[in-house]
Chain A
Amino acid sequence: MNTMAPVASSSTLDSNYLLSDPREDESLPVFERPASSRALISKYNNDFLLKNTEKSYEQQYASLYFLRLTVLKPRVSTIAAEAWNGMSILNQRVKAVDRVLDVRQGELCWIVGTVYMEMTLKPNILDEITKEFWTTAPISKDKFADPENDAIMLEDESGRVNLVGSTIKSELLVTGCVVAVLGSETTSGDFDVIDIRYPQLAPQLPRPVSTGHERKCVALVSGLEVSGDVHESYETSMLIEYLMGELGGSDDSKRASEIIHVIVAGNSFANNRPSPLSRDEENGDSSQKKKKKYGYDSSSYNSKPTEALDSMLGDLSNSVCVDIMPGDQDPTNYSFPQQPINPAMVPRTRRFLGSGFRSVSNPCWWDVEGLRILGTGGQPIDDIFKYVEGDDRLKMMEYSLRWQHCAPTAPDTLWSYPFRDCDPFILHETPHLFFAGNQPEFKTKIIEGDDGQRVRLLALPKFSETGQLVLVDVDSLACEVVTFAAGATALD
């Protein structure tokens, strides 16, 4: 299944053939990308798109949790009922209790609710207010997890119950996921958990049977961090040359021509915002002046990243279809779901809007030749990472799918728009490829569901740090990593 470039056999394919004297009469290959469909699944994506006119921040976030529970509770209940109904432990029959507060002491039952993690290290708005009166030592916020002090709670419309027991402590749980737990209430009022069930993988559409003629790939890259300054890493240029089919030999070009779609997953712009401190200093004497400013402030605005990215994407859009998704450093809203980067920022590329170029939301769903793809810029996974111990990004991604929710920690610690009508992050379908951008390193695996679902999980590394581009075969889900290295330094 791994079609690596065959070892040179014919004379033109010899690895040294480009190191020979030129012959003018030789016909040189020109490749074209195969025609293919690369649709955005608007059924899901439309929920991510917020119209400015309809946006309202008056409502509370509670409705988001309520909506989530309403949708996911039946799904978990089905799974839980299958597993536990009719079961008896120590001659006590297990029964389902509808509401968390209806649990009676000593009674073996199962309940469904939203997990809430009470974590002392979690950022808290009340702390922020307290800080105005007292100063506390700053705590490192890389992780919120503190197993000694954290409390796990299960919450539904009625109330909240504290979950205890060794089972629950060892589980990977984050605020916002909907689970079913089996157990009984202790004398102290806690719920002692014996077993736990997740919604598990949502149904998956079958992938079309491959025709087998041509290989088709989706190329994914994230964290380009284009800065546009003089010391821009040269790997980015090599990446563009590769995707355009100019780099390397004819097999490399052929391989590149099999790429039917490029997804740029977040953080395409370098993060060179001025630090808040320097801004304060600047404001000190000129705040009055700034008040009357009209338009952007050229002293603090740097257009280089935008221009450099624009020229890059402009070159690329001519040669391959590109979708650009925002990440946490990109110039769009910060809260989830991130809205598409305004194409006006990339005027040259914008000419290809609708054909070779699209600006998409984060998260986003694609249907590329029947391959259903769900991807994020990586923020939900980075946020889950803070809740759990360890650094197994793939496991977090897997659980995200098993919770049927692609951003469970929104709106608790992952900033999010307070949706009123639906929770757009609930997964009604399992994608074939689930990727998270801007992860510390490349990792991938395939997980399988109970109903034969097969998902390729992909943690995309930052290109700026690794120089890696990931190709995923549309038919076989096989992965290939293409690394670009300019000089020995890049490999260390």
Chain B
Amino acid sequence: MANNQYSTFLATRIVHDQEPITYRLLSRELKVHTALAKRYLYAFHTSSRSLYPDKVHATYLISGQKRPIPAISGDVLMSDVSSPPSTLPDTDVTHDDEIVQTIFELVPEEELEDAKSSFRKIDYVHVYSLEPTRLPEDFITLAECGRRVRDIDLREDPEAISKTYGTILEPVAKRQNGQPGQFASAQPNPPATNVQTKSKAPLPKSEMKQERALAEKQRPVSEPSASTSLFALGSKNTSKNHRGRPTTTEDEPSSNTIKKEIEKLESRDKKSASPFTKSVSARSDITRVKTQKKSGSSTPQSSSQVSQELQSMFSSSEDENEDKEEQKPIKAENETPKDVIGAIHDSFISDDIDLSIDKTPVNLKEEEIKSEDIEMGPAPPLEEAGTELVEQSLKKRPHGRSRRKITKEIHIKDANGFLTTKYEDVWESYSELSDEETISASRPVSAPSSAPMKKGSTVARTPKDKDAAGKKDNGAKKKQAGGGQSSLMSFWKK
């Protein structure tokens, strides 16, 4: 290894990219023994004092034995029986029961000398990591390095890891291949994604999301003709449409999803109830496409939201794709008509991504939360339409008809004359296709005239009779959904 390769590497990563680098990460990146990596860090740190003053901070690791300071280690004092061997502790510890205490301590360079003096015997001192500024007390930023090390290690042969980096090898340990391995490959990344996005969403979601993102990448490969050609017709900008659909076609909704979905649909309905929508609905398909195109560009916010989340999905999946390659065959095998639909969406979605990249100011945090319903992940394709599907509200029925559960507020006067509010869940029939259509269509004017529309729609949205409401809504929407995408979709569905 060229001598100055490490200094270039470290200078780039620490001084330029402002990242902390641990000896482990350095050894993985440069494929050298960890002991050598520790010395590289030291050498770089020494030279950096003149080259990059105040730009490189070191954290040291001290191993050895601490001085017996009762104040600090009162509870483990038994250990230090070894230093005054004449006195046995008052417990009935028998004769030679001396306990060696070894300590490994991480210390910032400022405290190195202090820390050293608290050791009775120092075995080793080495540079643990170099970083642009002093690390927080809990060294938590180093955890990211650990994750990257793990990712690198995963791709390598255990024996090679041992030889190259000096990791102790357990000769007995044998990695089994097969099912668990396929599972496993999805594992290492989620924490990393979480850190990036700072999302509070629980992990399964992000994992699902990744899986989904992966599927997105893979499906177009397996079904290229269907997806691309079909959507050559469609507009790129109607991302809002496609955002909803994957959920309904193939996602297995959880209570969470349902809730989100309801909220979303409700908000859409508010928009769709505008007078503008009606006029739009009267137009021909072609004009509609045009409008949508316009709408896409004139309301970057909504479309960009979608594309952002997609982008985030995508980016998270990218580094993982290698590992996941093995999952591909399974997906392909299980491909059902549903998946073909998925493929259509997905190709569409991936189109949207290009769009997103140039348009979107990134606002990932919010997007994470908003996109949960999509992230909930694809239902296992093997799941056939059955009783479950009926129970689960958002399952797709032919022609985009579906039922959903909404929470109704009911005011009742009770026996004592108090007015009480009850929340009740009711099933409501609606058509999600038309829902979505109208939204994208109505978008151009939604921004200026949003306030009055909302009022109107809330009234419409709290129906006393669910069926009637459903019909009303759907009736209106059906007209709008008459051509373009919805017919295309229904073709694929039936």
Per a CB cutoff under 8 Å, which of B65, B122, B425 touches A288?
B425
Binary interface encoding of chain B residues 91-131 relative to chain A, with 1 for a CB under 8 A from any of its CBs, else 0: 11110111111111111100100010000011111110000
Contact B254 A28 (CB under 8 A): no
User: Shortest beta-carbon distance, B1 to chain A, in Å?
Assistant: 6
Binary interface encoding of chain B residues 387-401 relative to chain A, with 1 for a CB under 8 A from any of its CBs, else 0: 010011000000000
Chain B contacts of A354 at CB under 8 A? 176
Taken together as a complex, chains A and B put the C-alpha atoms of A358 and B36 apart, in Å, by: 34
Interface residues of B (CB under 8 A from A): 1, 3, 6, 23-24, 33-36, 38-40, 42-43, 46, 61, 63-65, 72-73, 75-76, 78-79, 82, 91-94, 96-108, 111, 115, 121-127, 137-140, 142-143, 146-147, 150, 153, 158, 161-163, 165-177, 180-181, 183-184, 187-188, 190-191, 194-195, 202-205, 207, 252, 254-256, 258, 376, 388, 391-392, 405, 407, 423, 425
Q: Which of A89-97, A109-117, A239-247 contacts B (4 or more CB under 8 A)?
A: A239-247
Contact A355 B98 (CB under 8 A): no
Contact B97 A249 (CB under 8 A): no
Q: A444-B99, A448-B94, A486-B139 are in contact. Are A302 and B202 (CB under 8 A)?
A: yes
| Interface residue A11 (Cβ < 8 Å from any Cβ of B) | no
Contact A301 B168 (CB under 8 A): no
Of the A-B pairs whose beta carbons lie under 8 Å apart in the complex, a sample of 15, sorted by A's number, is A2-B98, A30-B163, A32-B171, A228-B191, A230-B195, A249-B123, A253-B168, A292-B391, A297-B254, A299-B255, A304-B191, A356-B172, A445-B94, A480-B99, A483-B104
Contact B256 A319 (CB under 8 A): no
Contact A479 B99 (CB under 8 A): yes
Q: A249-B126, A298-B254 are in contact. Are A441 and B76 (CB under 8 A)?
A: yes
Q: A33-B168, A289-B255 are in contact. Are A19 and B143 (CB under 8 A)?
A: no
Interface residues of A (CB under 8 A from B): 1-2, 4-5, 7-8, 15-22, 24, 26, 28-33, 35, 228, 230-234, 237-238, 241-253, 255-257, 285-286, 288-290, 292-299, 301-304, 307-308, 310-311, 314-315, 317-321, 347-348, 350-357, 394, 441-448, 466, 468, 478-489, 491-492
Per a CB cutoff under 8 Å, which of B126, B170, B207, B407 touches A303?
B207
Listed residue (A1, A286, A290, A489) with the most chain B CB atoms within 10 angstroms of its CB? A286
Per a CB cutoff under 8 Å, which of B139, B184, B258 touches A314?
B184
Chain B contacts of A17 at CB under 8 A? 124
Q: A2-B98, A485-B104 are in contact. Are A445 and B91 (CB under 8 A)?
A: yes
Chain A contacts of B258 at CB under 8 A? 289
Contact A297 B423 (CB under 8 A): no
Taken together as a complex, chains A and B put the C-alpha atoms of A31 and B94 apart, in Å, by: 34
User: Shortest beta-carbon distance, A230 to chain B, in Å?
Assistant: 7
Chain B contacts of A445 at CB under 8 A? 91-94, 97
Contact B35 A241 (CB under 8 A): no
Chain A contacts of B140 at CB under 8 A? 230-232, 234
User: Shortest beta-carbon distance, A447 to chain B, in Å?
Assistant: 8
User: Shortest beta-carbon distance, B386 to chain A, in Å?
Assistant: 12
Q: Which residue of B lies closest to A260 (CB)?
A: B170
Chain A contacts of B1 at CB under 8 A? 24
Per a CB cutoff under 8 Å, which of A20, A29, A356 touches B170?
A356
Contact B191 A481 (CB under 8 A): no
Q: A19-B127, A30-B166, A246-B167 are in contact. Are A298 and B202 (CB under 8 A)?
A: yes
Taken together as a complex, chains A and B put the C-alpha atoms of A473 and B280 apart, in Å, by: 81
Q: A244-B168, A248-B61 are in contact. Are A486 and B106 (CB under 8 A)?
A: yes
Chain B contacts of A353 at CB under 8 A? 176, 180
Q: A310-B187, A489-B138 are in contact. List 20 more A-B contacts (CB 8 A).
A: A1-B96, A7-B121, A19-B127, A29-B35, A30-B163, A35-B172, A230-B140, A230-B195, A238-B104, A245-B168, A246-B23, A246-B34, A248-B124, A289-B255, A289-B425, A303-B203, A351-B175, A483-B104, A484-B103, A489-B137
